Structure formats: structure tokens, C-alpha cells
Structure 1
């Protein structure tokens, strides 16, 4: 392998390993959060918190005004040939995030007051009212964290966004509920750690900008950077809000149709699936700035190579998690309590849907880093429309399982649309075929033992543990002896040379 070819893969491997560790911590703490909510507040209380968090997160998609995505797109390009613009661009990104976040908080607060006037005693509205003013804080934090990784500081992004914040949240909620608080106060406890996280993220970003060693040039506002940034960011406002709608809308609609208990069951089951996204999150953190630099240089050959490698790793390391979640869904949900048993079908459907969607790799990152944020927003609009239509069609027929089917179909459609656009609009050679072989590896080494031990021991902890032990041994052995075909030579697996 040539040096030119191996260097980006090496960068992907090094950054991906660190990002994966942080994403793993985030996933574990996300599960801890769900278990704490389920055990301390029950399905109804969990439903209230999750609906409030869902509405907050959807609003945050608008509040950050696309500045987080714009940072990942424009800052790596400025590192190449416009370093004098880094400082004013960073300040512009933060200010826009703060101002729009504050405006969104005010608008949402008025909406909450209207909702409470029409429906007094609504616990979801009360919970949302306690956290609404954290929107600008969260917006600034996300933009600052995105800027840190765009400037090459993946460790800061990981430590603040993937370790500190997810760890503080379950601790804060446990303390609040332990002191006798209910779902409303638990929602406030969920939002409170955003304050120190935002301070840390902004501090790291400012230090990074100062270390670039170049003072800014006057006349930034007269340059084309603010205009280009806003042109890129505005479609991302729509797209980001729609992304969160795709994740959280079902929780809110299920709560409206079937009540907070059903929302709690569905939301908790779907959080297990979200926790399994650790590999996707880890790779996206690293590849997005790389894609932006490569597209800026018009180095499409290298981009396609990195994309294929990332796709192989995404499918290879994500699929085992979802196989275990699907086959041993009752075991996973038993952590939350007996009232969450109805979420088994949700976990199975969403796990299978995730595996299928991963075959597209980090296709959304390629599309976004090309500057085609408008196409990404259009894709999300189509996916959300399909999701909403299927939810209202299927939930009355199949309950929360129908909502899971709607989500899986919408996610697959979003990935297909992005893949077609990258192939035919951008002219890049991308294909889901890269993920077929690692999918086979995961099915043979993890899926077959999982099915066998499920039949032998049933849906028990013994069956799950046996699957993990045997499956892991088979999986690691296959990866070791076929590491070149799986692009694992850069990871230096044990025994590899």
C-alpha cells in the first residue's frame, strides 16, 4: 500500500479509535440514563422526560442554526489556505449559535405557555418549561465542539461531548430523584450539565484558534465567508431539525396517541438502538473533516478509498451489536423493569433497520461535506414525511411496533436518496457492496452463535454471555486472519504485523 493511500487510513484509524472509545462511554452512559429513568420513574415518568427531551432536541436542530455543521465544512478548508480567517469565522459561528438559540428559546417558551393555558397540569409542558432556556447553551456547546474537531482536536470533542456530558446526566437525575423529585425535576437535571460542558467546549475552541498563530484580517464581514457560511447553514437548519424529528417524533406521537407509558416504552427501546450507534458516531466524527478537505482538494480517489474503508468498519463493528440486541431483546429490556417488556418488537425491528441502513456507510457525511446541504435537507424532508405518514397508518394497527417499522423505512429511504445523489450528482463511486462482506462476517461469527444459544438457553443472561464469549472469539479470529480484506491492517490487531 502506498504512503498516500495509507496516510488517510492511518488518520482514520487513529482518530476513529479515540472517537470510538468516547462513543462507547457515551453509549454506556446513555443506557445507564435509560435504566435510571425506567427504574426510578417507571414507564409513565420516563415517557414524560423523554417527550420533553425529544421536543427540546428537535428545537435544538433549529436553534444551532446549522453552525455546527458549517464549522465542520468550512474550518478544514480554511486550515488549507485561509488561516487568517479562522478566528473571525469561529467567532461568527458562536455568536450566530447563541443569538438564534436565544430566539428559539423565547419562541418555544411562548408556545409552552399557550399549551399550558389550554391544558393545565400537562407534565410534559411543565418539564419542557424547566429546560427551554438551555437551548442557547446547548447550541453554543455543539458548535464549539464541532469546531474543535474541525480544527483537529478530536480528543476535546470526545472528552467533553462523549464522556463528561453523558456521564453527568444520569448522576444528576439520580441525585434529583433520590431527593424526592419527579419527572419535571428530572428533566431539569438532564439539562443542567450542559452549562459546564458549554464552558469547556468554548474554552478549548478559543485556545485552538489562538494556537493557529495568525491574527485575523480586518473586513471579515465584507468578505464572502459570512455569506457562504449562511448559504451552507440555512438548509442545514431544516435538515438538522428534520434529523431530530426522524429520531424523536415517534416518541412524541406515540405519547399523544397511546399515552406517556407507551411513549416511555417506545422511547426507552429506541434508546438502546441509539446507544448501538457508537461506531457510526465515532467514524463520522473523524471522516467528516477529512471528506471536506479531500473534496476541497478534488482528491476524489482518496475520498472513495476512505469511504470504502469506513463503510467496511462501520458494518463490521456495528452489526454484532444489533444482532445481540435483536436476538436477546428481552434480556436488554429486563434492565428497565417488567413494564418495558412490550418494547421487544421495537428493539428487533429497529436493530434490523439499522443494519440495513449501515450498508450505505457514512454517505450523509460525503453529501454534506460536498456543500450540498440543500439536497440533504430535501432528503430529510422526504424521510420525515414518509415516517409521519407511516406512523399514523401503522401505530393504530400494530402499536409501537408500527412506529418502529416507520422509522426503519424512513432511515433506509434517506440513505438510498443520499447514495443516489452522491453517485449521480457528485459523480463519486460509492456502493453498498463494500458492506456486504463484513455483514457476512458478523452474521456468521455472531449471528449463528446467537441463534444457537437463544434456542439452547432461551432469552436469558446465560445465553447472551455464551454468545458474547463464543462469538467474540470467532469474530476476532476471522478479523485477524482476514485483516487485509477487512482493511484492519491499520488498526494493528493483536498478532498483526
Structure 2
């Protein structure tokens, strides 16, 4: 787990930097209105992918480890997942292409959005197969190749966006360049999968295999749609009720807040297959220990950037242009919502990997519907700040529900008194970072405040005493020995 997290943290750091540069180029090159068109189109593509995916990526994480030693069955799972995901992608792409004018009329009303949506539709089946290959590497606990693949796509996209903007392309030209980038990325992913693994997708699954596969994947598809209702429907509703500029400002705040999930995402790369194996073998104590450590480590590593994003919202947003600084309150609300994600750790994966996929489905859809209701009520009253408030409340609710369910059903709880140390160190760092606001402003505050907060946070952890298990972790993540 630590090996996978260390590789992923480094790789995801590069990935986040690439995505940051992509959004920086887009915001600076397109402005708030055209960036809003891009953001809305990208969001609708994400929603469409939730339908196209059909839960196949999670099925690979479940069944490839479960069939360990049975290569024929593993190849059939991979073949079934690939075919299902590709056909789902084609159907979703056709629907998005046909409905693009209708979506445009219901939202921003600009013909540019229709063109953007139809270009994004081309990406759907390609992206489905890329994610199948990512899940294969993840299920095999080969994080190094997953990291390579995760970084190849944004690197190619960054190059494509840069070239398009350099030649003066509008948002349509930029998205067309991104489509070309996805095609190149798929070729690279395919080459990596065939050269680094001996897996070869086949069909011929038995009726029992089909029932087992779809009994797991289809509920997760419906569940993933509920997740999208929680996490992406807000941008769609901002586009429906407000302007392209509002979508652009809102989206950049959402993108920035997602960076706070890096530590949890890193540890979650190998958590599902390991958790599935431990649970299947009846090793509950080991599973709870792993669950507890992942949660505390994720919280500790995410706390400092969370403080920075909450205390320096306007300074962070101003990097993308002065118009984006209006999203300060939105970013603060998103930060609070994402903090609850980190605090409960990989609770959602615990439910899925212990066979409670139907409960996950109910969770996601119940809170997804609540998110729609809250967004409607709050957007009409408070604008895009209301959308952020609705989404933050929904994130908090789903995370409270998950942690209670894991404890009640499986008697697993990821907390201990060891959490008090990073909390105390965070309070000290936050006080210093806030105090610097009285003497600095703008970009200098961002740099000096961030550095000072990091020094105080690390010093606080050292003074309070670093746990032995943490020393082992950091000795692996950072090549410093010990």
C-alpha cells in the first residue's frame, strides 16, 4: 500500500501540475465566458461517461484479484469489461451528439456549446477503454504503470491545448485538439498494456460469470450516476440558471478543491483490491488497521493544503485571472466539503469491497436527489454561491452516512487518539498563516504564508511525536532512510 501511495503521490503531483497548467492556459486564453462553455461541455461529457462506463472499472478491481491464479477467467473478465464499456461509450456518444442542440437551448444558448458537445462525444468510447486499462494496472497492484498512464493523458492534452491556443483557436478548436490528444493517449495506453502485461481480453463467459459480473457492475453504474448527481450536477445547474462566466468561475473553484483529495486518492489506488482480498480471507483486524492508517495519513497530508486554500482563496483564484477572484466564497465552501471526504477516508470503497454495492447505490441516489433539490433552492436564492453550499452540504451528509454504515454493518472504525496530533499541528500552522495576512497580500502572501505554514505544521508533528508506523511510511515515501 505504501509503495503504491508513494509512487502515486509523486505521479499525481505531476498530474495535478499538468492539469493546473491546462486550466491556467484555458482560463487565460479563453476568458471566463468561453472557459465556461468548455467547463460545461466537459461536465456533460463526465455525466455521459458515468452512463457509458457501466461499472466495468470497479468490476475489474473486484474480480481480477478474486480470480488470482485463474488467467483464463481473468482474461474473460477483462474482455467482458472492455466490450461492455466500449459499447456503452458508443451509445452514450450517439445520444450526446444527437441531443447537443437540445442541451444548448436549455443551458447557455450559444451554438458554440453544440459544437463542443459533439466533439466531446467522440471522446466517450475512447475514454472508456483508457479507463479499462488504468483499472487493469490498478487491480494488478502495478501503480508505476498506472502513474505513467495517468500522466500521459494530461501531458498530451496540455500540448494539444497549448498548440491550439498558440494558433488562435476558439473553444471549439481547443476541444478538437483535445480529441486528437485522446486518440494518441489511447494508442499509448494500448501499447503499455500489451507490452507490460500478459493479459489478453477474451470472451466466452459462462452464464454464471455473466450474472456475477453484471450483478456487481450494474448496481455500481446506477450508483455512479448518483455520485455524479452529487458532484457534477451543480455545474450543469449553474449553466442552466446562470451565465457562461458563472460556470467558468464556479468550475475553476471546483477544480482547485479537488486537488485536496490527492492524499486520499493516492492511498485509494491500491486500497480496493487489497481490502477485497483481506475481507475475502477473513482478516478483519488487518483490514481495520489498514483502513485506520489510510484515513489518518490522508487527513494529515491533506490538512495543510486545505488550510491554505481556505485562508488564501482570493490569492489562489487570482492566478487564473482577476475575474476568477469572485469565486472566493465558492472555493471556501468546496474546501469544507472536500475536508469531510478526507476525514472519513476510503469508507465508500470499504462498503463496495465488502459486498454492499446495493447499499452504495441507495446512498448515492438518495443524496444525489437531495443535491438536485438543494441546488435548485439555493441557486435561485444565492446564485453560484448557493450551488457550492448545496454541494458542500451533500458531501458532508454522504460522508457521515458512509462512516456510520461501515461501523454499524462491519464494525470497522478508522479513528484513534492519534488524530489529535495533526489537528494540533494544523491549528498552529493555521494561526501563523492567518496572521501573515496582516503584513502581506497577493502572491507574496501565498508563497510566504504557505512556506511558513508548512514549517510550523511539520515542526508541530515532530514536537508532538511521530508514530512508528508513520516513520516507516515516510521512510518509504521519501528516500531518507530510517
TM range (shorter): over 0.9
Matched, 1:483 2:466: yes
Matched, 1:472 2:454: yes
8 Å CA contact 2:93–2:125 kept in 1: the answer is yes
Matched, 1:243 2:227: yes
Structure 1 residues 197-206 or 250-259, which shifts more? 197-206
Q: TM-score, normalised by structure 2?
A: 0.93
Structure 2 distance, partners of 1:376, 1:93, is: 21
1:15-164 residue pairs with structure 2 within 5 A? Answer: 15-79=4-68, 81-115=69-103, 121-161=110-150, 163-164=151-152
1:362-377 residue pairs with structure 2 within 5 A? Answer: 362-377=346-361
Structure 2 distance, partners of 1:419, 1:383, is: 15
The match for 1:9 is none
For the structure 1 residues 369 and 64, does the alpha-carbon distance in structure 2 shift closer, same or farther, using more than 3 Å as the test?
same
The match for 2:445 is 463
The match for 2:287 is 303
After superposition, the CA RMSD in angstroms is: 2.4
8 Å CA contact 1:361–1:432 kept in 2: the answer is no
Structure 2 distance, partners of 1:189, 1:296, is: 45
For the structure 1 residues 316 and 441, does the alpha-carbon distance in structure 2 shift closer, same or farther, using more than 3 Å as the test?
farther
Structure 2 distance, partners of 1:414, 1:73, is: 23
Matched, 1:447 2:430: yes
1:71-470 residue pairs with structure 2 within 5 A? Answer: 71-79=60-68, 81-115=69-103, 121-161=110-150, 163-207=151-195, 209-210=197-198, 220-222=204-206, 224-425=208-409, 427-432=410-415, 436-437=419-420, 439-457=422-440, 459-470=441-452
For the structure 1 residues 226 and 197, does the alpha-carbon distance in structure 2 shift closer, same or farther, using more than 3 Å as the test?
farther
Deviation at 1:320, TM superposition (A): 0.8
8 Å CA contact 2:298–2:342 kept in 1: the answer is yes
For the structure 1 residues 129 and 367, does the alpha-carbon distance in structure 2 shift closer, same or farther, using more than 3 Å as the test?
same
8 Å CA contact 1:78–1:86 kept in 2: the answer is yes
Deviation at 1:277, TM superposition (A): 1.8
Deviation at 1:439, TM superposition (A): 4.5
For the structure 1 residues 269 and 118, does the alpha-carbon distance in structure 2 shift closer, same or farther, using more than 3 Å as the test?
closer
Deviation at 1:361, TM superposition (A): 0.8
Residues 160-214 of structure 1: CA deviation (Å, up to 9, x unaligned): 11x1112222321121122121112222333432222223333333445527xxx
Structure 1 distance, partners of 2:425, 2:115, is: 45
Structure 2 unaligned residues grouped into runs of 5+: none
Residues 421-475 of structure 1: CA deviation (Å, up to 9, x unaligned): 22222x2321455784254145234312111112332x42222222222222233
Structure 1 unaligned residues grouped into runs of 5+: 1-11
Structure 2 distance, partners of 1:393, 1:116, is: 23
8 Å CA contact 2:57–2:132 kept in 1: the answer is yes
Deviation at 1:316, TM superposition (A): 0.3
For the structure 1 residues 223 and 208, does the alpha-carbon distance in structure 2 shift closer, same or farther, using more than 3 Å as the test?
farther
Structure 1 distance, partners of 2:203, 2:232, is: 42
For the structure 1 residues 178 and 495, does the alpha-carbon distance in structure 2 shift closer, same or farther, using more than 3 Å as the test?
closer
8 Å CA contact 1:70–1:233 kept in 2: the answer is yes
For the structure 1 residues 21 and 118, does the alpha-carbon distance in structure 2 shift closer, same or farther, using more than 3 Å as the test?
closer
8 Å CA contact 1:23–1:279 kept in 2: the answer is no
Structure 2 distance, partners of 1:430, 1:118, is: 45
8 Å CA contact 2:33–2:245 kept in 1: the answer is yes
For the structure 1 residues 54 and 118, does the alpha-carbon distance in structure 2 shift closer, same or farther, using more than 3 Å as the test?
closer
Deviation at 1:114, TM superposition (A): 4.7
Deviation at 1:480, TM superposition (A): 4.3
How many residue pairs are counted as aligned between the two chains?
478
Deviation at 1:117, TM superposition (A): 8.3
8 Å CA contact 2:229–2:372 kept in 1: the answer is no
Structure 1 distance, partners of 2:135, 2:313, is: 34
Residues 58-107 of structure 1: CA deviation (Å, up to 9, x unaligned): 1101111111111111111112x534411222122111111111111112
Structure 1 residues 15-24 or 462-471, which shifts more? 462-471
8 Å CA contact 2:58–2:217 kept in 1: the answer is yes
What SS is found at the alignment partner of 1:429? coil
8 Å CA contact 1:312–1:438 kept in 2: the answer is no
For the structure 1 residues 446 and 192, does the alpha-carbon distance in structure 2 shift closer, same or farther, using more than 3 Å as the test?
farther
What SS is found at the alignment partner of 2:320? coil
Deviation at 1:32, TM superposition (A): 1.4
What SS is found at the alignment partner of 1:89? helix
For the structure 1 residues 129 and 386, does the alpha-carbon distance in structure 2 shift closer, same or farther, using more than 3 Å as the test?
same
8 Å CA contact 2:253–2:334 kept in 1: the answer is no
Structure 1 distance, partners of 2:70, 2:473, is: 31
